Amino acid sequence: MARNEKPYQMLEVTIMSAQDLEPVTKKMKTYATVWIHSRRKQSTRIDTKGHNNPTWNDKFVFRVDSEFLQDETSGITVEIYNRNWFRDALVGTVRVLVGNVVPPPQRIRNSYNGRTRCVALQIRRPSGRPQGILNIGVAVLDSSMRSMPLCRHMSGSSVGFRGLMGMTDDESFEAIIHNLETNVTVSMRSLSQHGRQSSP
């Protein structure tokens, strides 16, 4: 770490799902945008099947310092949009203070435990009227977890797991795992057949 570089933590935010969104169109295609600083926004994939009860399960990591975590005004903002041909429509917004979802560091080691805390948050329409619930998970990764691939490949102050893995909007994590397992099975089968052909 450079001398002038401040020590930092990794704030992990998982945008899980939403329920009872305002049905702004007959067939909704929704995505969520999350940020802690408006200059560094990250977006989920587009849900095309859940209508006003979408599921994303997309994970993002933001690099933050201790001052941010201890500041009473620091927050996480999530905006939910409906995809339209002309202009995406804002469905609702959530802003939660970091201090309300992240417990203070452990006193003994002065570190965070890395456990994800799942919370259900009230969504507000652009008019300010409450409508719908957003489910998210929040965790602060300690120093031992920064060696994970998601953290090692961070070139800026935020990164999305889906983009890092080269996943498209239509791909799920389950599909990626299934493809990996299939490739391993095929490779093992090929090795086995090659071994039988080579044996005297």
Residues 131 and 42 in one domain: yes
Residue 1 lies in a domain: no
What is residue 108's predicted lDDT score, i.e. its pLDDT? 42
Residues 54 and 82 in one domain: yes
Residue 2 lies in a domain: no
Residues 151 and 79 in one domain: yes
pLDDT-derived band at 1 (thresholds 50, 70, 90) equals very low
Residues 56 and 107 in one domain: yes
Residues 197 and 142 in one domain: no
Q: Domain residues for 186? A: 170-200
β-strand partners of 139? 12
The tally of CA atoms less than 13 A away on the side-chain side of residue 157 is 11
Residues 179 and 113 in one domain: no
Residues 17 and 46 in one domain: yes
Taking only the tens place, the pLDDT of each residue in 71-91 is: 999 999 999 999 998 899 999
Residues 175 and 158 in one domain: no
What is residue 195's predicted lDDT score, i.e. its pLDDT? 54
pLDDT-derived band at 125 (thresholds 50, 70, 90) equals very high
Is 70 exceeded by the pLDDT of residue 111? no
Is 80 exceeded by the pLDDT of residue 14? yes
Question: Above pLDDT 90, what percent of the chain?
Answer: 51
Residues 70 and 109 in one domain: yes
β-strand partners of 82? 30, 89
Number of domains in the chain: 2
Residues 121 and 191 in one domain: no
Residues 151 and 187 in one domain: no
Joined tokens for residue 47? 């849900």
Residue 80 lies in a domain: yes
List, edge to edge, every strand of the sheet that includes 158-160.
42-43, 30-35, 75-82, 89-97, 117-124, 130-141, 8-19, 55-65, 158-160
Residues 112 and 181 in one domain: no
